[in-house]
Amino acid sequence: MSIDIILQNMLNPPVLFFFLGMIAVFVKSDLSIPQPLPKLFSLYLLIAIGLHGGYELSQSGFSLYIFKALALAVFMSLLVPLYSFFILRTKIDIYNAIAIAATFGSISAVTFITGITYLQTIGVEYGGFMVASMTLMESPAIVIGLVFAALFAKDPKANSDEKTDWGEILREAFLNPSVFLLVGALIIGILTGEKGWTSMEPLFGTLFKGMLAFFLLDMGLVAARKIHELKKVGFFLIAFALIMPTINASVAIGLAYFFELSKGDTFLLALLSASASYIAVPAAMRLSVPQANPGIYLPLSLAVTFPFNISLGIPLYYYLITLIWG
């Protein structure tokens, strides 16, 4: 892989702001973002990507190609937590294996958004419907985690009268704020079409990269503060968090090539498959698998996999695709 491909991604301003945030923590700077603002940034990004995806979907309509891409997305969201669990189970306990497998089976919306920015920078087209694939990929891993917890994580010492609140857990899986907002914005984009997007584009299009830079600056601060917790997890889990994204992306690329997806859509599918959740799944795992340690699965996704994907993973996955597609 050419160093130019890596530099092209690394010298993207939002990505540089992520590392600026990390450096601020390492040098003990007092840099911080007032707490209500990061939530506003995340809401903005979800609305922007949902609206634009809905607009693109309203223009393209629904076809067999779109059905194949969405079906592959759902398949990957089911497959990744399955084989991840059995790999993890060889080294760690059932509870943490379930939580980590679910975390890596779900997706990171910010990684996806950073990937879209990369495609726009290099001038590669992609389908707006891929936003729908991101939405579809967020919840299945949580459901897989629930199934594994029911099958493998029964504690014989637990009180048999204590029942799992399945309604609350499933609500967290399918109605968590990020999924709800994405789906809502996607539907609004579809209903309003070109006229709606044109009216919203000055806010949700022109300012998009600037808001992404603010959000990634905050993510850099948060990720750097989590790094010290990696001492708890050991070499195996750190290696897992670095190697599994490339394996997951490679599986997605192979399937996308077989089903003849375009380069841009394949890249986004691979990036979604390679990413790991640090918001929706950790919240659900605290409810469904309280025996798992958040100090293990959260730093893995946020302090290892997320920085790897937005710095080296993005150019690596695109390079693999260019090798195969030509």
pLDDT score, position 290? 82
The per-residue pLDDT for 158 is 47
pLDDT tens per residue, range 177-204: 777 887 888 899 989 999 999 999 999 9
Geometric angle at alpha carbon 129, from 51 and 244, rounded to 5°: 110
Average pLDDT over residues 56-74: 88
Higher pLDDT, 285 or 26: 26
Give this prediction's pTM: 0.82
Transcribe 189-229 into DSSP letters. Answer: HHHHHHHHHHHHHIIIIITHHHHHHHHHHHHHHHHHHHGGG
C-alpha separations of 238 from 27, 44, 53, 101, 308 in Å? 24, 32, 34, 14, 11
pLDDT, the chain, mean: 86
Buried/exposed code over 153-169 (b: 16+ C-beta within 10 A; e: otherwise): beeeeeeeeeeeeeeeb
CATH 3.40.50.300 fits 3-23+32-158+165-325, yes or no: no
Query: 123-140, pLDDT tens digit by residue?
Result: 999 988 888 888 888 778
Helix axes 3-10, 314-325, angle to 10 degrees: 140
Copy the structure tokens of residue 283.
């919240």
Tell me, what amino acid is at 300?
A: L
**Closest listed residue to residue 77, CA positions, set 3, 139, 26:** 139
